[in-house]
Structure 1
Amino acid sequence: MGAYKSRPTSSCAEEWHKKISESYAVLETRMKEDLDPKDIEQYTGIQKACCSGDTDRVLELADERCVVTKTETGLTLLHLSCISTGSKPFVKLLVHAGARVSSLSRNGFSPLHLACFQGDVDLVKDLLLEEADPTVIGYSSVTALHIASLNGNEEIVEHLIKCGANIHARDTVKFTPLHIACYFGHEKVVKCLINHGADINLSGEVGDVPLHLTCVKGHQSITELLVKGRRNNKADVNAQDNEQHMPLHFSCRAGHLTTVDYLLQPNLGTKAHEVNIYGDTPLHLACYTGRLDIVKSLITKTGPTSLLVENIFSEAPLHSACTYGKNIELVKYLLSQEGVNINTQGRDGHTALHSACYHGHYHLVQLLLDQGADMNLVATEQNGDSEKDQEQTCLVWAYQRGHDAIVTLLKHHKRPQDESACGDYSQPGGDGSYVSVPSPLGRLRCITKEKINVLQLRASLPKNFHLDINEIEFLETIGSGSFGNVYKGYCRGKIVAIKRYRSSAFSAKSDVDMFCREVSILCRLDSPYVIRFVGACIEDPSHFAIVTQYVAGGSLFSLLHVQKRNIDLQSKMTIAVDVAHGMDYLHNLPHPIIHRDLNSHNILLDEFGHAEVADFGESRFVKSMHEDNMTKQPGNLRWMAPEVFSQNTQYSIKADIFSYALCIWELLSGELPFAHLKPAAAAAEMAYRSTRPPIAITIPKSIVNILQMMWSPNPEERPTFAQIIPMLDDCRQEFLAVSKTLSGVLSMLDADWATPIDDSEDGLEMGYSGLEPSPSDLEPGELPAGNVTALRTQWEMCAKSLSGEKNGSSVFPATDKNGYVSDPLSTLRVNDSPILPQQD
């Protein structure tokens, strides 16, 4: 992958600063060990008295023999006196009795080191009065002044300097006390050290001056102190470390905007376009860390000079932003700058798209493709032999890194402006979807992620939803899909539906991932308009299953296109409103859910004709949509929103509104949307040609207006379900008024209500199920309540009885060759009563 392959994830300076932080953490740990001994119960009486600061006891027990004793960790009585804070008059006594004031513990610290770390000003003064040496070097070559600077105690620093502490002493990383005070952000100590003449421009082990350290940490006030300095002792804003980083490089990479703005003041003379040994300008480093605010400030204040500069890895700032890949707005901003070309190739030929593919930034790859990035441009992998150099596209980079979702996206991508996008509707398989062969690395990552998902699901799923496969009795198969089969069965005394998953996942979309996601969503749902979750088998991958309530009426798809039932307008409106309530519930949860696969297969009807939303295998929590790579074309293509089909993974819950509109059209018309086309072709027609299903004159105008809003090509113009529900309720009330008027016509017809009808066309004998009132209980002209799976209403009966009139004419037309009644009012009626509580 050319020189890009060797790009380090961080600079040597960054690694060095991590080591420094770790070393000072170890330093603090060792001092705390000395100040908090674990074997204090084994100490002598005078040692315990020194630890507790008991002056009277120390004076009583002190003699020349005991004052020179040490603990097993090398602590003298003076070390132990540092454990408790406060005045210790016995320090002078101990020194005069022979205690060594500068003795080091086994951890490498003198009593003065520990007193400085403890912040005990009185003890520090007492030790210095007894001629404790402030220049004694302890562990890691630190002096007492280093420790006081680390601790941020200005008074102790002042006192140490007055007593002869070396203000320019260096520890093992060549840091002076000023370096340490700057690194840890102790402003008062910095000011004190500068006032006493500390050299502001002394460099550390890797050439880093105090100003570098303040810019790394973003200590704005200290930065100003160093730059202003004192007399001729001022910080050099263009000082370079061993990697030629200036302070501006560090502040840009760390994202400290106020520090950047300060350094960019014209009077300071900061060189904003200087490069380090990697060829990175400050703009590069801001892009590598996704700092949009820093990038804007740099370009606004210093001009576009750095925009086209390539570093030694053949990357301009646009490449750098794509390497980071998590700030899409930054990439958009860079592309909006004059002179920036999305297809600019570095010296090795790789583009911004190569960078995004290499690092697996799915959403960014999507954006670049939509903005016109050329996926056919090649980068050259240098092998030292020009004859063996390989030219590699961004697809190869994605495959070699194991980013299979991006490989799929690249293989399948067609921009709306491409001519072929509208004509090449289908591929082998019929759904127009490309499935890539997973790369070995991508497959390994997938397996690891699946195991993590299952473990997390087991831990988070409430215990009452945990099922054992032995608790389930499987009956007949009632459905199937790519995931496995759906069975009717019994579980815990209830009739249930069991969705049995396969545990293997060898395609681009993992069955295990879908299973875990669906269970995690279902267990959070509680609405009469959404399928009720019973539990899941999650312990054994070979027995993965999801158990839900059994909905007797089957799917809306089956009712319309398999059974070819005809539903009256009021019942259609009941179904439409129920589904809208279910979707509104999903969209307005505390953590909203986007269904992404709303179609007539996933709308189930109970025995009373009410609808429930089901199948959440493709669903997502909205909050995670921008965190995870959104699935390429989720759900059924025939009901898919244009923005989903046209490769835009940044779609919203408004995609569900579009799918819902097609379901309503299907419900009203009794036909599949674009039934003459394959699913991919239907989706392409809607996405690229803005075609919509034809609206028959029999569909009420009020419904037509709602449909046109819901399937608008602009998602922002589509209403929410909260807005749709009152619209549909108004339509239902309007149709109910019309229905009552028509019932007056029916009252004039003399029909034999009690006689069952032998339907010679389909061989079914239709009768009353016992759920509806008997004919004798009905008022004249009143329609009977019907059962979705068994009932034909008076409309169809009348059509039958009158079909033999002379001249073949009838006020009620008979069913057509497809089994449909051509009258706009259909023949299946359900109760208008509210949804009944679910029966256990």
Structure 2
Amino acid sequence: MGNFKSRPNVSCADELKKKISESYSLFRSRAIEDLRPIEKDWTEIQLVCGKGEYNEVVELITEKNKHEKTDGGLTLLHIVGIYGGSRTLIKFLLEKGLKPDALSRRQFTALHLAAYRGDAECVQCLLESPDTDVNLAGNSGLTALHIAAMCGFQEIAEVLIDNGAKINMQDAVNFTPLHIACNFGNDKVVSLLVSHRADVNAAGGVGDRPLHLACSRGHLQVTKLLVEAPQQPAEVNVKDDEEHYPIHFCCKSGHLNVLSYLLDKQALPHVCNIYGDTPLHLACYSGKVEIVKHLISVTGCESLSKENIFSETPLHSACTSGRSLELIKYLLEHPNVNINYQGKDGHTALHSACYHGHIRVVQFLLECGADMNLVACAEMSGGVDKKEEQTPLMWAYEQGHDTIVTLLKHHKRPQDESACGDYSQPGGEGSYVSVPSPLGKLKSMTREKIDVLQLRSSLPRYFQLQITDLDFQEPIGSGSFGKVYKGKYLGKTVAIKRYRASSFGCKSDVDMFCREVAILSKLNSSYVISFVGASLDDPSNFAIVTQFVAGGSLFSILHEQKRVIDLQSKLTVATDVAKGMAYLHNLPQPIIHRDLNSHNILLDENGHAVVADFGESRFLLSEEDNMTKQPGNLRWMAPEIFTQCTKYSIKADVFSFSLCIWELLSGELPFAHLKPAAAAAEMAYHTTRPPIAVTFPKPIVALLQRCWNASADDRPEFKEIVPILEECKQSQVAALLNNSTVPSLKEEEEGEEDGQTSPPIAGNVMALRTHWEQEASKNSSVPIDELRRRLQFPQVDKNGYVSDPLSTLGISVTIEQTKKLLESAINQSQS
């Protein structure tokens, strides 16, 4: 029997489909980026190819320039295809030896882009070349046929099939072109693929068939094409890996027309998935009233009494979702539906509504006669043989739903006039149901309350503070837990992390609070946040007090204040963070942070950094410990955590650290153009990493590549990272590149007027900058004064980030030029 309280909100199939949807959205955005190239940096031959000028291309093309590529990796053939060039021009370029299978930086061939554009003529012309591989997989493992199926281009799909496209080839998530056409509802392409004997029962990444996708999306015509396929009809009752039938998906999504069709085709109406959910359960969880009515009217009431593994009937399910009072009313009209029915674990529909905080549902159930004194049996922390009985009120109390607790305490029924609860006074009005006392009776004590009591007994007294001793000042941050304030304690400025008043009833918040206090109390390093104490006495006043770090978070400095940080300071921050993480990882009982990102790196007024926020951290008992899935911020998350692995190590922190270093050096968010989940998916499933700039020191580049290695075992430990950073920080190249040693133009002019000479290092840096300006003036029409102004006041891009100082010169500087200039400056300093 499953535990109702641990029921996942979505199934594994739902999670995968969400990631697949994000993957296809990312695919589309990348294709559009390739189809909208930036022309300002193009060469002359690239520009005339874009215009489709055949005669000019013939005149300009040479053996040297015919293989030129744009910054995005687009060849001349890509460019002609993007702009719909003539067949004559495409054939000419193919005859000149251009490879049609060359991939752009975003993993597209000219054939992929032509198929995405719907340019049938260009596709046909490219396929006439014997060098064109019609089945070449590009971005996300998609072939040209997959792309045509996604976009609904029947003519192009037919041309591709006629030229040898494999009709059942699978992409990165094991989807065939038929899967994709069904998902996007392109019935003409589906009809074409079915007529060419595509496998209508091919299994995707979690065993999902094309019919599952069509029913989930509500594509009736596509569903009919699959079920009525003449050669090989789709199985109406086929199951995926979680034993979902197509009828499960259409009921969950609320597609009445598809449901009627499936039932006419002998779909089984009362089948269960591995969670014990019937189609009626899923319709109730989703609040689909019309689906429920149709199912019961056509197939009978058999499913009304079925429980899933979480001890929930359809009535429980409707109350769990709380989406429709009309649905709950309809279910209660049936004579075989009992409002007080208790599942195998004893919980009623009222328990479900209370647990999820649906106050309108709770009110309605009470008015309909729901018994608030019935109890569910929950396992206590002492072992499987120990049970505690919990009323609906206790479930609401546990989850912090104060309004429901109040409603239940004061709800009065006529038959209960003589009843007297724990809070009622003789002869007065009060509660008519047993409720837990504010301190929590042993009988109703939850595991979270036990954790708090254990923390109180183990935490040294000097760490246990009174909330009245804290002087709260202005708020400086907030989160799902509550707010962070600047404040005073015993005359010292501190940071106070104040938890919400309802946190005592919320398991995740209490876990985080207890774990963070337990960890902070064990730490003693100048590179991690210092613990002052915690307020533990009153659940409504939970608070964690730490040192106040005046500089704020690295995230705020980089992306909100948009401050320019010189390289030497960046390396100081990186080194401090590495030392802090090395300290955590090498304690007798190691600590894995699990949420290392720029929000949790704080800087003091001297530019030194400390690691903070240990709410997601935990003590690591062994390398084989089972870990929580996906803790922390997705944008900085290690691939092994994002992919649902529950056995990961301290090397996950190393990956997050590498993204922080990249962010520090570049001044930009990792994958800023993507949402956090899409960024994590890109790193995990496509092994994509942020781009390396020319200005990054070489030792740091090598370190980054090791730290964000896809294999956790191949990443270095922090005790190895620290000396690398310290050596880089102390190197002369780092000192030369350090912007803080470059005097402003005003300071230089004042120094010259006063007859002062610059210190040796400043003089060499000035010489280096002058050399840069001379090189720039040779290759740019920008006046020298304007170049100096750009160096002194870097530009800000459209996203509000400070641009690379070198890019503000408006010139292209090669690595070899950089090397020569640095060597020149070093030689001058030595002489």
Cα-Cα RMSD? 3.3
Kept in 2, the 8 Å contact 1:272–1:302? The answer is yes
State the shift of 1:146 in Å. 0.7
1:303 aligns with 2:300: yes
Could you say which residue in structure 1 is the equivalent of 2:260? 261
Could you say which residue in structure 2 is the equivalent of 1:402? 400
1:334 aligns with 2:347: no
Residues 337-352 of structure 1: pairs in structure 2 closer than 5 A: 337-352=334-349
Q: Distance in 2 between matches of 1:305 and 1:81?
A: 63
Kept in 2, the 8 Å contact 1:86–1:120? The answer is no
Q: Distance in 2 between matches of 1:31 and 1:92?
A: 23
Deviation per CA, 1:716-746, whole angstroms, max 9, x where unpaired? xxxxxxxxxxxxxxxxxxxxxxxxxxxxxxx
Deviation per CA, 1:91-135, whole angstroms, max 9, x where unpaired? 111111111111111211111001101111111111112232211
State the shift of 1:291 in Å. 0.8
Could you say which residue in structure 2 is the equivalent of 1:371? 368
Kept in 2, the 8 Å contact 1:350–1:378? The answer is yes
Deviation per CA, 1:45-87, whole angstroms, max 9, x where unpaired? 1111122222232222123332222223221100111221353
Q: Distance in 1 between matches of 2:438 and 2:263?
A: 49
Could you say which residue in structure 1 is the equivalent of 2:774? none
Could you say which residue in structure 2 is the equivalent of 1:770? none
Could you say which residue in structure 2 is the equivalent of 1:161? 161
Going from structure 1 to structure 2, the CA distance change for 1:439 and 1:235 (only over 3 Å counts) comes to: farther
For residue 263 of structure 1, what is the amino acid of its counterpart?
L
Kept in 2, the 8 Å contact 1:152–1:186? The answer is yes
Q: Distance in 1 between matches of 2:30 and 2:114?
A: 14
When normalised by structure 2's length, the TM-score is: 0.51
When normalised by structure 1's length, the TM-score is: 0.50
Residues 401-800 of structure 1: pairs in structure 2 closer than 5 A: 401-416=399-414, 418-419=416-417
Could you say which residue in structure 2 is the equivalent of 1:105? 104
State the shift of 1:170 in Å. 0.5
Residues 24-63 of structure 1: pairs in structure 2 closer than 5 A: 24-38=24-38, 40-63=39-62
Could you say which residue in structure 1 is the equivalent of 2:18? 18
Q: Distance in 2 between matches of 1:309 and 1:293?
A: 20
Kept in 1, the 8 Å contact 2:237–2:245? The answer is yes
For residue 145 of structure 1, what is the amino acid of its counterpart?
L
Could you say which residue in structure 2 is the equivalent of 1:179? 179
For residue 221 of structure 2, what is the amino acid of its counterpart?
S
Report SS of the residue matched to 1:381.
strand
Could you say which residue in structure 2 is the equivalent of 1:94? 93
Could you say which residue in structure 2 is the equivalent of 1:687? none
1:151 aligns with 2:151: yes
Kept in 1, the 8 Å contact 2:411–2:431? The answer is no
1:293 aligns with 2:290: yes
Could you say which residue in structure 2 is the equivalent of 1:392? 390
Going from structure 1 to structure 2, the CA distance change for 1:67 and 1:86 (only over 3 Å counts) comes to: closer
Report SS of the residue matched to 2:9.
coil
More helix by share: 2
Kept in 2, the 8 Å contact 1:150–1:181? The answer is yes
1:239 aligns with 2:238: yes
Report SS of the residue matched to 1:242.
coil
Report SS of the residue matched to 2:238.
coil
State the shift of 1:150 in Å. 1.1
Could you say which residue in structure 2 is the equivalent of 1:324? 321
Could you say which residue in structure 1 is the equivalent of 2:71? 72
Q: Distance in 2 between matches of 1:67 and 1:252?
A: 56
State the shift of 1:338 in Å. 2.1
State the shift of 1:429 in Å. 12
Kept in 1, the 8 Å contact 2:252–2:286? The answer is yes
Q: Distance in 2 between matches of 1:2 and 1:143?
A: 42
Moved more, 237-246 or 325-334: 325-334
Kindly name which structure, 1 or 2, has the bigger radius of gyration based on alpha carbons.
Answer: 1
- Given candidates 262, 265, 270, the residue that maps to 2:267 is 270
Q: Distance in 2 between matches of 1:409 and 1:56?
A: 83
State the shift of 1:41 in Å. 1.7
1:355 aligns with 2:352: yes
State the shift of 1:438 in Å. 8.9
State the shift of 1:89 in Å. 1.9
State the shift of 1:258 in Å. 0.9
For residue 318 of structure 1, what is the amino acid of its counterpart?
L
Could you say which residue in structure 1 is the equivalent of 2:468? none
Kept in 1, the 8 Å contact 2:409–2:430? The answer is no
State the shift of 1:157 in Å. 0.4
Could you say which residue in structure 2 is the equivalent of 1:249? 248
Going from structure 1 to structure 2, the CA distance change for 1:272 and 1:25 (only over 3 Å counts) comes to: same
Query: Relative contact order (C-alpha < 8 Å, sep 6+): which is higher?
Result: 1
1:281 aligns with 2:278: yes
Deviation per CA, 1:592-648, whole angstroms, max 9, x where unpaired? xxxxxxxxxxxxxxxxxxxxxxxxxxxxxxxxxxxxxxxxxxxxxxxxxxxxxxxxx
State the shift of 1:33 in Å. 1.9
Could you say which residue in structure 1 is the equivalent of 2:509? none
Q: Distance in 2 between matches of 1:439 and 1:295?
A: 44
Going from structure 1 to structure 2, the CA distance change for 1:506 and 1:297 (only over 3 Å counts) comes to: closer
Kept in 2, the 8 Å contact 1:95–1:101? The answer is yes
Could you say which residue in structure 2 is the equivalent of 1:711? none
Kept in 1, the 8 Å contact 2:81–2:110? The answer is yes
Moved over 6 A (4+): 426-441
For residue 50 of structure 1, what is the amino acid of its counterpart?
C
Deviation per CA, 1:365-412, whole angstroms, max 9, x where unpaired? 111111111111111112473552111111100000001111111111
For residue 110 of structure 1, what is the amino acid of its counterpart?
T
Q: Distance in 1 between matches of 2:74 and 2:324?
A: 54
Sequence identity (%): 55
Could you say which residue in structure 2 is the equivalent of 1:193? 193
Report SS of the residue matched to 1:375.
coil
State the shift of 1:430 in Å. 8.8
Could you say which residue in structure 1 is the equivalent of 2:230? 230
Report SS of the residue matched to 2:377.
strand
Deviation per CA, 1:732-786, whole angstroms, max 9, x where unpaired? xxxxxxxxxxxxxxxxxxxxxxxxxxxxxxxxxxxxxxxxxxxxxxxxxxxxxxx
Gaps of 5+ in 2: 441-447, 449-474, 476-499, 503-831
State the shift of 1:142 in Å. 1.2
Moved more, 411-420 or 28-37: 411-420
Could you say which residue in structure 2 is the equivalent of 1:661? none
Report SS of the residue matched to 2:102.
coil
Report SS of the residue matched to 1:145.
helix
Report SS of the residue matched to 1:380.
strand
For residue 207 of structure 2, what is the amino acid of its counterpart?
G
Kept in 1, the 8 Å contact 2:394–2:436? The answer is no
Kept in 2, the 8 Å contact 1:55–1:88? The answer is no
Going from structure 1 to structure 2, the CA distance change for 1:12 and 1:387 (only over 3 Å counts) comes to: closer
Kept in 1, the 8 Å contact 2:2–2:309? The answer is no
Could you say which residue in structure 1 is the equivalent of 2:125? 126
Going from structure 1 to structure 2, the CA distance change for 1:429 and 1:343 (only over 3 Å counts) comes to: closer
Kept in 2, the 8 Å contact 1:86–1:122? The answer is no
Report SS of the residue matched to 1:391.
strand
Kept in 2, the 8 Å contact 1:399–1:439? The answer is no
Kept in 2, the 8 Å contact 1:243–1:276? The answer is yes
Deviation per CA, 1:395-450, whole angstroms, max 9, x where unpaired? 1000000011111111111135655599xxx9799997999999999xxxxxxxxx
Kept in 2, the 8 Å contact 1:2–1:348? The answer is no
Could you say which residue in structure 1 is the equivalent of 2:575? none
Could you say which residue in structure 2 is the equivalent of 1:170? 170
For residue 333 of structure 1, what is the amino acid of its counterpart?
Y
Going from structure 1 to structure 2, the CA distance change for 1:431 and 1:109 (only over 3 Å counts) comes to: same
Q: Distance in 2 between matches of 1:392 and 1:421?
A: 19
Kept in 2, the 8 Å contact 1:194–1:229? The answer is yes
Q: Distance in 1 between matches of 2:344 and 2:72?
A: 60
